[in-house]
Amino acid sequence: MTIPGLFISFEGIDGAGKSSHIQTLADAFRAQGRSVTLTREPGGTPLAEKLRALLLHEPMDALTEALLAFAGRRDHLRQVIEPALARGEVLLCDRFTDATFAYQGAGRGFNLDVLSYLERLAQTGCAPEPDLMREPDATLWFDLPPAVAAQRLTAARSPDRFEALPPDFFARVAQGYAARAQAAPQRFIRIDAAQPLPAVWQQLQAALVARGWLGGEP
Ligand code: TMP
């Protein structure tokens, strides 16, 4: 019997601290005997990693950003995400489509209907059946006030094109995530990322235990 795959994405504004928990969650699933693929967007395949480097470092407009993000995502879905889920693995992805709606849509102010069209085009090849479109089973949304995230980022390495943007950009991105969460309350799991690291992990673990995906007390 094949176990169904499980697709979990991690989202939040830059500095929200999501990346430090992905490895811990991968270890927790492996300890339960699950095979885990850990991946990220932009990126996750040799081609998409090249597109990531362009997206993060070359000047371009919002449409070009969106096109690169979706081109990389299409390759990532075909080469990594769909095959891993078909093998019954747990697929942990550091950012996915919500990031495009939050950064290019809410942050840059790019047209959300065009993003939805590009999403369908890139993720289904424009198949008429919208239910063929892959979505995460759950999205762990690391919610943090932009001012706190900015403080954390100042201590970080040299900023990329997005990390260098002003606080009002991140305020819009945070609103974009909140809107996505409101539109998909079953999929989104809000994590209060302002708490200390162990408390953030406990929230995350409890949410996945409650869904029956991780063993332990809910
Ligand atoms: P990361 O630092 O979490 O790996 O994310 C890289 C940056 O790329 C981050 O600032 C968010 C941005 N991004 C977009 O603008 N659009 C997208 O579709 C994705 C996936 C990321």
Give 93-104 pLDDT, tens digit per residue. Answer: 999 999 999 999
SS3 state at 171: helix
Q: What secondary structure does DSSP assign to 92-134, as a single string?
A: EEE--HHHHIIIIIIIT---HHHHHHHHHHHHHSS-S-GGGS-
What is d(CA 33, CA 55) in angstroms, rounded to the nearest whole number? 36
SS3 state at 74: helix
User: Does ligand 1 come within 6 angstroms of the Cβ of 43?
Assistant: no
Does residue 107 have a pLDDT over 90? yes
User: Does ligand 1 come within 6 angstroms of the Cβ of 100?
Assistant: yes
| pTM (two decimals) | 0.96
Strand partners, 9: 93, 139
What is d(CA 206, CA 212) in angstroms, rounded to the nearest whole number? 10
Q: Which pLDDT tens digit goes with each residue over 177-203?
A: 999 999 999 999 999 999 999 999 999
Which atom of ligand 1 lies nearest, measured to the CA of 19? 3
What does the mean pLDDT of the chain come to?
93
Give CATH for domain 6-210.
3.40.50.300
pLDDT at 1: 62
Q: Which pLDDT tens digit goes with each residue over 34-55?
A: 999 999 999 999 999 999 999 9
At residue 156 the predicted structure's pLDDT band, cuts being 50, 70 and 90, is: low
